[in-house]
């Protein structure tokens, strides 16, 4: 009797060119940082409004953050499709942009993983 062969995890082959992945990764990185920074600004505005109770804090910060987050969603979904992230991971990365600093931290680890995986 022979021992069974060890199973190797098979990852789906990604046929996307490296340059396309590199561009998608750059867009994701830029908007992950932009979303994180605008979310911190929004938290600052909320502290001013509800804790410090400043009259008329800048209300436009929430609008800008909302649009930047929307663009982040588009760039992240684009990257997820190109490198074939599982749906659970894609949703987790999309939601990371809703928690201050988490989107930036997740971006760091995802970038490191993608650069290693695709030899960018």
Burial (CB count <10 Å: 0-12, 13-18, 19+), residue 62:
middle
> How many residues in total does the chain contain?
120
CB 64 within 8 A of CB 58: no
Q: In Å, what is the CA distance from 26 to each residue of 2, 45, 71?
A: 49, 29, 13
Mean pLDDT of 49-65: 92
What pLDDT, on a 0 to 100 scale, did the predictor assign at position 10?
Answer: 47
Tens digits of residue pLDDT in 32-53 = 999 999 999 999 999 999 999 9
Handedness of CA 70, 68, 45, 93 (dihedral sign): positive
């Amino acid at each position: 009797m022979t021992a069974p062969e060890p199973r190797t995890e098979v990852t789906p082959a990604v046929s996307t060119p490296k340059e396309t992945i590199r561009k998608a990764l750059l867009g994701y990185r830029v908007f992950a940082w932009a979303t994180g920074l605008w979310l911190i600004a929004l938290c600052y505005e909320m502290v001013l409004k509800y804790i410090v109770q400043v009259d008329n804090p800048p209300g436009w910060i929430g609008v800008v953050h909302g649009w930047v987050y929307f663009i982040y969603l588009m760039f992240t979904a684009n990257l997820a499709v190109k490198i074939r992230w599982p749906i659970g991971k894609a949703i987790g990365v999309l939601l990371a942009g809703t928690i201050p600093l988490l989107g930036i931290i997740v971006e760091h680890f995802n970038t490191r993983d993608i650069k290693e995986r695709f030899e960018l």
